[in-house]
Amino acid sequence: MINLLPQEEKQKLFLAKKEKLAAIYGIIVLISLLCLTLVLLSIKFYILADTDYQKYALKQAKQLSENKALTDLNVVIEKYNGTLAQLDSFYKKEIYFNQALETITNIPVPKGLYLNNFSLDRNEDGSVKASVSGISDTRDHLLTFKKNIEDSAEIKDSYFSPESWISPKDISFSLTFEIYKNGKQQ
């Protein structure tokens, strides 16, 4: 196609084309700025709404924490948590009370000898330290009891207090020994 327009007309058409292109680019930029403004406004309103919600939630939490019944409940819960921690520690130490009691009760006791008190405590090596006290009517019965203890395979390191051997009759004695599981030191 032959362009027969004069040079001035060509210049005017070229300028008109540039103006239309600049107007289109301007409109695109304005629309983009408008969209960006709207997005930023929506983010601002979202943050403001969330901030108000967080303030309200904090206010409610403060009111709940100031509630005396809840405070008392927290004290009770902490007390029980402490008890549970102690029970957990107790079970982790694995004291074999039933085996220790069975060992003590399986020791033959002479007729005139009576056990009054005993206590059990776990050692770090897994053994159980027992303390026993009682009354014996004669020293012979106490000696027999001592021999029976020493004959037991699970009992080691038996020790009678020196006061246990002073009087010949109506003896109040105390004894300590260690009980090892299955008679073996761990």
Judged against a pLDDT cut of 50, whether residue 3 lies above it is answered with: yes
Are residues 70 and 114 both part of a single domain?
Answer: no
Share of the chain above pLDDT 90, in %: 24
Calculate the alpha carbon distances from 159 to 48, 119, 127, 133, 171 in Å: 78, 15, 16, 12, 16
State whether residue 160 is helix, strand or coil: strand
Amino acid at 66: E
Residue 79 domain flag: yes
The last residue of one of the domains, among 93, 117, 151, is 93
Number of folded domains that form the chain: 2
- pLDDT computed for residue 186 by the predictor: 46
Q: CA torsion sign, 31 to 36 to 42 to 44?
A: negative
The last residue of one of the domains, among 93, 114, 147, is 93
Are residues 103 and 168 both part of a single domain?
Answer: yes
Residue 6 domain flag: no
Are residues 24 and 57 both part of a single domain?
Answer: yes
Residue 32 domain flag: yes
Q: Are the beta carbons of 96 and 181 closer than 8 angstroms?
A: yes
CATH of the domain at 151: 3.30.70.60
Are residues 157 and 85 both part of a single domain?
Answer: no
Mean pLDDT of 128-135: 87
Are residues 106 and 173 both part of a single domain?
Answer: yes
- pLDDT computed for residue 78 by the predictor: 92
- Tens of pLDDT, residues 73-92: 888 999 999 898 888 876 77
**Which domain does 54 fall in, by range?**
11-93
- Tens of pLDDT, residues 88-114: 876 776 666 777 778 888 888 888 888
Residue 117 domain flag: yes
- pLDDT computed for residue 23 by the predictor: 96
- pLDDT computed for residue 34 by the predictor: 97
160: left (phi over 0), alpha (psi -120 to 50) or beta: beta
Residue 4 domain flag: no
The last residue of one of the domains, among 34, 63, 93, is 93
Are residues 64 and 102 both part of a single domain?
Answer: no
Residue 130 domain flag: yes
Are residues 82 and 146 both part of a single domain?
Answer: no
The b/e string for 75-87 (b: 16+ C-beta within 10 A; e otherwise) is eeeeeeeeeeeee
Residue 1 domain flag: no
Are residues 77 and 15 both part of a single domain?
Answer: yes
State whether residue 1 is helix, strand or coil: coil
* Lowest pLDDT segment from 1-5, 42-46, 171-175: 1-5
Are residues 137 and 152 both part of a single domain?
Answer: yes
Are residues 164 and 125 both part of a single domain?
Answer: yes
Are residues 150 and 80 both part of a single domain?
Answer: no
Are residues 84 and 121 both part of a single domain?
Answer: no
Q: How far apart are CA 157 and CA 178, in angstroms?
A: 6
- Tens of pLDDT, residues 32-58: 999 999 999 999 999 999 998 999 988
